[in-house]
Structure 1
Amino acid sequence: METTGDRVRRLIDEAGSTQRAFAEQIAIEQSKLSKSLSGMRRFTSLELALIAEALHVTVDWLLTGQEPELATAARRSAGSSAETALRLARQYATQRTNLTRLGYPQKPNLPGPVSRSTTWIQQGEALASATTAMLDSMGLSTVGDLPKVIEEAFGIDVAIEQLGTGFDGLAVSTETTKLILVDATSITARQRFTIAHELGHLLSGDDQAIHEDADIYSSASKKGEGEVRANAFAAALLMPERLVRSMVAEQGSSLEGLSSVAQALSVSPTALAYRLENLRVIDAGLRSALMATTSKAAAMKAGRATEFAAASAASMQRRPPGLLLADALAAYEAGQSTLRVFAEILGVDTQTLRREWAEGEGR
């Protein structure tokens, strides 16, 4: 039966390293590593964390040899449009699992379950209503910095990365990790709808472990219980009925007025058209005209070109998962983890980070 020492030794060999070099890499005495590999000594919790970090596995895998479903999915995705997203999701989930074992668990704060006795659309709308009420009670709103709001309100990490062509995002839900990962794109409305859609999957408990959404606007995304519910949730969350009705009453139901509403809510004219038709606020003719309007054209009609350009630039920027980043820094400050974990999440090398911190303190 393979032991923890056996697994560590195998990974060192597969990495083309030696015990001496690996001991130096993780800054522990070679004699201690040798004794632990032979079973004469137990690895400490910090040593396990350092080893897991260096070998890109979880501490749980080192101890049990059991591979998480997310790791299996990442390996099987090679060559597909989901490859980059699943690799990053696995990386973040592994880092969270290791931090959890060091005493820095993620603390999700989720609303209660919604009855499944109604239609899928009604379930999504009911969940959005409960979610909006929860945000209202905290003084938060989905209008604005949506990733920050989700992290603050629900304890769910949100990351924005370059995922490549043909992949909008995914949601991860494991025993230790709750994560939304979406593509960095200039199409702000699509990114926000994807984030809300993935949040709907997490709050509904869909597809535990991982849920992939290559294209949230495809015909496939409009079929199946989970997708229909997540789409209804996203629409109702980003365009709350009371707020939408109030804004339409203020801006008017002309194409220019509705373009202003779409821009203010950071949703696409098409998404707004469907939402308003479902709420019986506009007729089919106005819906068609609004659906034929692009987000850029709507911004021009609304006189908000500058805001549209700024939002497009912002949505293209990488955003590391904020809660994971904060916990990695806390673990480092407490001497329970290396700076490399924090630097890796941040997206910089350790030496550069140390130098920038030193230069910053010197000013």
Structure 2
Amino acid sequence: MPRTTLSAPRSLARLSLAAVAISASLGLNPVSAQRTPAGSLSAAPGAALAAALPDLPESPVADEAAGNLRAASPNAAEAELARGCRDNLLQNGDVSTFTMGGSTNFPPSVVPGWSPSVHSPQVSPTPGFGGARGWLLAWGYGQGGESFQQNVNLPAGTYRLTLATRQHNASTNPTPARYRVAFRNGATPNPWGTPGAATLDSAPMTNANWATQTYTFTTTTATNVMQVNTFNANSTSAVRGRPDRVSWMAYDSFCLQAVKPEARRRGMTWVVREVRNGAVNVGNHAGTNPYVGDTPETAILPMLCIRQTGLPVPAGIVPDFYHGWSGGEVRLTTPVTGSVLNSPAIANGICAAQFGTGWRMGEFHDGNGGHTYWAKLGHPALLEAFRAKTKFWAAINDQPANVWNSVP
């Protein structure tokens, strides 16, 4: 068969595409259904149905020696930055590097970073998302099909995945089609029926043009593989001998990034330590940190308020430096999110709004010492807090341990 040579520049800055040599008849028809060697997927549910699908001819490719068709970025980091994917955790995420073998299947074609999980997904050397050459293709139905994967090394954490997909436009493609991206510890021969540590299932899709999808997800365990498969919910798709009922999805431009936790401020919290003779002792608990704060600003807790009026020390209370007498009454507000406490004025205003003139946020040194102090018990919420060991926001005026002045 005569050979045609194509060459085209990549659209990304400073990238070039090596000369391509493929058959002029390459159409990448959606008929990839080569079987995996017998027994290699014996554990897969639905394997008998998948095996019943007939072998179909692959898209024609010129009789070229491996290596004649390449599309490689001279600088992978530059390529990722150019397409807006800094610190991509995936190799060859835009499928810009590949080597065509004797078929569009890989293998025999080679796509660095990517490998088949189930049966024989394909790589296309034609323009994909953004106009750059190279994208992946896989068919699937409710219980079987093709799957591909990439090995990863993801500690437990939060990640963001973006990819471009489209339903492959073919008359044998029932709509809508769907896809699954799952992060696992080891690939499974049955990705259709096995969820991962994180499982990202698309909505039903009918788009014939490329569209990007973005997911933010959290894993609580480390994972070492990202596995991708196509599927659909067409009840007739599992009918034995009906390859025309499988759906096809095209995939390109994978970008996987770690999401750094948002820096948060902290505030100091206290508890009710003792109730005696109409008085209450408020102060530190085992986790209190009066130097940098101990509780994230996202916590929703009551706030300590005080009104000092020169009250005498009650009978039975003997103040000292660490258990001073405040000369006032304390109360607890309704729970507030710490992030609203952006200044002492705001905190004091909350106390005044709930309890009246003269009330302000309770402070570390209000007992003329530190760490704890006594005050008049004037509010039933304090008794409930004592019984439940509820924490509440308290202020300190000489340390960066408040939400408004702690260091994120």
Larger Rg: 2
Bigger share in strand: 2
Structure that is richer in helix per residue: 1
Structure 1 length as normaliser, TM-score?
0.23
Task: Give the structure-2-normalised TM-score.
Answer: 0.21
